Structure formats: C-alpha cells, structure tokens
Amino acid sequence: MSDKIFVETVRTTPTFKKRFEFVERKGLGHPDTICDLVMNKISIELSKLYLKETGMIQHHNMDKTMLVAGQTENKFGGGKILKPMKLVMGDRATTSIDGRQLPIGDFAITTAKSWFEKNLRYVKDEHVEYQLELGKSSGQLRSIFKSPKSFASNDTSVLVGYAPYTETESVVLGMEQYINSKKFKAEFPASGEDVKVMGFRNGDCLDLTVAIAFVDSFVDSQNDYFKKKRQMLDAITEFGKKKTPLRIHAAINCLDDERKGIDGVYLTVLGTSADNADSGEVGRGNKANRVISPSRPAGAEAIAGKNPVSHIGKIYNAMSFKIADEVHKNVMGFDEVFVWMYNVIGMPVNDPKAVVVQPITKNNSEITTSQINQINEIVSSNLEKMDEFCKKLLSEQIEIA
C-alpha cells in the first residue's frame, strides 16, 4: 500500500493566514440541507433493511433528489399553505432479491416522513407530497455486492479533505448550530430551522450575513417582526463575540425593507423557505466537514445518499477529512493538511489507486523522513480499518451535513 501513498510539500500560505476567506453554512431547514439529510437517512435505513432481509447491503444510491418549493399565503399572526412542497426522490436501488420484491418505494416515503416529523417543527404530513423516480439498479452494479468481504468501488472519483478548521469555519458552523439550538428556539420561537450563515473574513474582521426564516404565526405585525429581528441580532452578535477574537459584524435578513409591508420581510409558514420561495437539491448543501469553504479545495461528489460500503463519493469524502485531521493533530510541524483520495470503478474500496497527502509545513520548511513515515502509518491504518469506518457511516456516528 505504501507505493500508493504520496506525500508532497505544498509551499503556500495556509488559509488562516491569508487576508481573505469565505465560508458558508446551510442549516437544518435549508432546502438543500433537507434534501441531503432526508436522502442520507433513506440510504442508511435502506441499508439496514437490506441487511435484515438479505444479510448484506445491496446496491443503491439515493443522491439524485429535488425538493420543489410549495406555495403559501403569509400573514402576520399565521398564514396558510396553498400548495404543498414536493420531494422528488430519484436514482437507483435494488428492488428484488432472488425474485422476491422489496417495498423500496414505500420504505423511502415512510423514512422521509419520519425525518420531517423529527427535525422540522411545523412540517406535517400534508405539507409534503412525494414523487418516486427510483429505478432498478443495473445488473453490473448489483454484481459488486455478491462478495461482501471486498466491495468494489461503485464509481471513479477523486475526493479531498483538509484540516484543521479555520477560525472562520468554526464560527460559521457554530453560529448556525447556535441559531438552531433548543436554547435559541425557546428564546426566539419565531426563528425557523431554515438558517444560512455566510462569513467573509478580511484580516481579523469577520462579516457574518445571516438569513433566518421567520415563522409568521409568531409575528404579530411589521413592527413586531423588526423588534424580534433586532433582538435576534443582539443575541447572535453577542454569541459571535464570545466565540472568537475576530472582530464581528453581523446582519440578518438583508433583503428586508420596512417600506414594503409584509412583502418586505422574510416570513414563512413552516420555518423553511421551501414552503414557498426556494427549492433544493442533493449536493448543493454543506460539504463532508459540514461547511462550504470556497477558499479550500473541493471534490465534485455529493456525500449524501450514496451507498455507505461501495461508493467512494461518500466513503472517501468523509475519510479524507478524517485522515487530514489525524495527520494535522499527530504529526508536528504542519499549518494545514490536504488529503486527496482517488480510485477507479471496480477496484477494491480499501485499496485506492492513490492517496496524496499535501502538508503545508510551518515556515515552508522541508518535510522530514520521520514526518513522511508518520503520515504513511496514519493513512495505512485508516485504510486497514475501512470496514469499521463504513459501519460508522451506517450508524450515523459520522455527521455528513
């Protein structure tokens, strides 16, 4: 395996030392995040169903999905739903084993309904319609799963991870989690789950632009909306100042306009813009480390909904970040670490064609033989424990969005 692990020193300025940085986080109720989390949950539960019914996980991928926005009539004090959202669930699954049909479609819908019920306070059964576009897996791809001890890669892909989090990434992630926390919702029940945080760092100044979908049943009037908005902004600013030494400037719902009445405020009925204003897709949400960082390298594969034992678009997506984090924490002398993982369809998942580790050394010093040896040990150890890692993906011990 060591002949497939490559270490290359990168001589450049690490992200946290650059003057400018951009980071985004799409929260729990954002339409893109809904698609990611719902379809990932379906993949996980479907994998468990396959294990129960057939003794092993079968071929499936649940990563081609769109949430089509509904239509509402917003009103201070509580609006109404005119047209429900529609979740179009697509891609491929193994629908029968040895001539025995499996109820994949019904199972997917039931799992999606359960996710909405547990995660979005105001979304009920009648607020979402479901359209199934799940086709039957091809025979060639299903054949990968006939030998459970050595799954072949489902795709040809290259994925990349990095470490550590920058201060900006930590603040943006923490800010969304704070706004969607039980504590914040108890204090500000008008705040919906659809939260987006965009951070722009210029030196030691961090500009945070936050979008929060207000739930109209908790807003009595235009004046009440702007009062609650100011109170939320104060809480958010205070949280940011406690979390980071960076100088914080925050703003909420920047499209608001007091001159336009109800059309000048960000109201929803269900706490998500998907009830009226915005559709969503798998893969347009957060990356495998739960933020979107245009300042860092990124692979092209969505992590959500892919098969947890054969699709490297999921497995390597998550593992590359894990390896990068372990290298940064355990090998002294690196400011930043990038890890690229590459494999070809049909090759064993635990035997990638290449793993390229690119550390940025402190002060651009030369990488040492000892550091290279430590990196090789970390990468090899992770590849040897691939089955254990996949089980953690299946048991949701690894957060993906």
349 part of a folded domain: yes
70 part of a folded domain: yes
- 191-202 and 85-93: which strand pairing? unpaired
Indicate the residue type of 322: K
The verdict on 290 and 268 lying in the same domain is: no
Q: What is the CATH number of the domain that holds 244?
A: 3.30.300.340
Q: Which two tokens stand for residue 114?
A: 């359960």
The verdict on 305 and 329 lying in the same domain is: yes
The verdict on 160 and 171 lying in the same domain is: no
Domain end point (choices 215, 249, 280): 280
- Pairwise CA distance, residues 157 & 105, whole Å: 28
43 in Cβ contact with 305 (< 8 Å): yes
- Terminal-residue alpha carbon distance, the chain: 31
193 part of a folded domain: yes
pLDDT of amino acid 260: 95
Residues near 131 by Cβ (< 8 Å), separated by ≥ 6? 86, 87, 88, 89
Q: What is the CATH number of the domain that holds 101?
A: 3.30.300.10
pLDDT of amino acid 147: 62
Residue 73: Cβ-neighbour burial (10 angstroms; 0-12, 13-18, 19+): exposed
Q: What is the CATH number of the domain that holds 367?
A: 3.30.300.280
Number of domains composing the chain: 3
The verdict on 10 and 44 lying in the same domain is: no
The verdict on 234 and 325 lying in the same domain is: no
The verdict on 128 and 189 lying in the same domain is: no
218 in Cβ contact with 265 (< 8 Å): no
Pick from 216, 282, 256, 369: nearest CA to 61: 282
Cα dihedral across residues 346, 349, 354, 356: positive or negative: positive
Domain end point (choices 280, 302, 323): 280
The verdict on 276 and 174 lying in the same domain is: yes
24 part of a folded domain: no
The verdict on 263 and 299 lying in the same domain is: no
**From first to last of its 401 residues, what are the pLDDT tens digits of the chain?**
568 999 999 999 999 999 999 999 999 999 999 999 999 999 999 999 999 988 889 999 999 999 999 999 999 999 999 999 999 998 889 988 888 888 899 999 999 999 999 999 999 999 999 999 988 877 777 777 766 556 889 899 999 999 999 999 999 999 999 999 999 999 999 999 999 999 999 999 999 999 999 999 999 999 999 999 999 999 999 999 999 999 999 999 999 999 999 999 999 999 999 999 999 999 999 999 999 999 999 998 999 999 999 999 999 999 999 999 999 999 999 999 999 999 999 999 999 999 999 999 998 889 999 999 999 999 999 999 999 999 999 999 998 88
383 part of a folded domain: yes
The verdict on 233 and 378 lying in the same domain is: no
Determine how many CB atoms are found less than 10 A away from the CB of residue 329.
13
- Pairwise CA distance, residues 388 & 228, whole Å: 47
266 part of a folded domain: yes
The verdict on 76 and 36 lying in the same domain is: yes
The verdict on 275 and 353 lying in the same domain is: no
**Cα torsion through 381, 387, 391, 393, rounded to 10:** 70
The verdict on 185 and 213 lying in the same domain is: yes
148 part of a folded domain: no
pLDDT of amino acid 401: 85
User: Which residue range(s) make up the domain with 332?
Assistant: 2-15+155-165+285-394
400 part of a folded domain: no
Domain end point (choices 280, 303, 326): 280
- Pairwise CA distance, residues 145 & 140, whole Å: 10
